[in-house]
Chain A
Amino acid sequence: SQQGEEDPQALSIQEGENATMNCSYKTSINNLQWYRQNSGRGLVHLILIRSNEREKHSGRLRVTLDTSKKSSSLLITASRAADTASYFCATDQNVAGGTSYGKLTFGQGTILTVHP
């Protein structure tokens, strides 16, 4: 079952603006990952943040993680038309003993449209 919820469900912005997407989850996690999906294609990994990390950067991407609130956010700065896609958060659940079965649980996703 899907445990994550993302908001907004859809986001429409102009090129150059920043885009912020939020994700909430319910269980204890080892890490949280963000993926991007272009229409009708597979998923591309963007960034992984571990449960003991609070913030991570990769290029124009900034991810935060608040394990006390069980939430994460993805910020894309200076957006481009090519950033138009669906963005998903996925949690890697912490199974007993701190292990992981490798099963990711996905949020509902945010559809981002960046207008040129």
Chain B
Amino acid sequence: GAVVSQHPSRVICKSGTSVKIECRSLDFQATTMFWYRQFPKQSLMLMATSNEGSKATYEQGVEKDKFLINHASLTLSTLTVTSAHPEDSSFYICSARDYRTVMNTEAFFGQGTRLTVV
């Protein structure tokens, strides 16, 4: 299957700082990327959908100014957690799909980023 690379896998940052997480599709063009957040022993909650070259669409309740998403190319999307607080500590996972072939095809996921804000 296709490969999606996400890094860093783990990051610890201080409160008030910003953290950038990268998600790259290595062998296909990801027209659409999705960012999820997962709390321990819980399911994935979609945060936002990013389409290459356009603004991200955020789910209800997700602060767009806090979670900045950039999808500047067909192979790279970034999520920046700004002014991080301890409650932002979580597991963040990206997923990539090619919109042109999205019908009845699987999504490909990165390995996730464990963010700890101290």
Contact = CB atoms under 8 A, between A and B. Distances in A.
Contacts of A33: 106-107
Contact of A41 (B45, B102, B112): B112
Contacts of A100: 102-103
A42 B106 contact: no
Contacts of B75: none
Interface stretch (A64-72, A76-84, A102-110): A102-110
B109 A42 contact: yes
A99 B49 contact: no
Given A102-B32, A102-B102, A104-B34, A40 B91 contact: yes
B64 interface: no
A4 B102 CA distance: 21
Chain A contact residues: helix, strand, loop or mixed:
strand
A43 B93 contact: yes
Contacts of B42: 108-109
Interface string B24-47: 000000001010000001111110
Q: Which size class do B's interface residues fall under?
A: 20 to 34
Nearest to A5: B43
A21 interface: no
A109 B43 contact: yes
A106 B43 contact: yes
B107 A104 contact: yes
Interface of A: 1-2, 4, 30-31, 33, 35, 40-45, 48, 50, 88, 90, 92, 99-109, 111
17 contacts: A4-B43, A30-B104, A33-B107, A42-B110, A43-B95, A44-B109, A45-B106, A45-B107, A48-B104, A48-B105, A99-B103, A101-B102, A102-B102, A103-B49, A104-B34, A108-B42, A111-B41
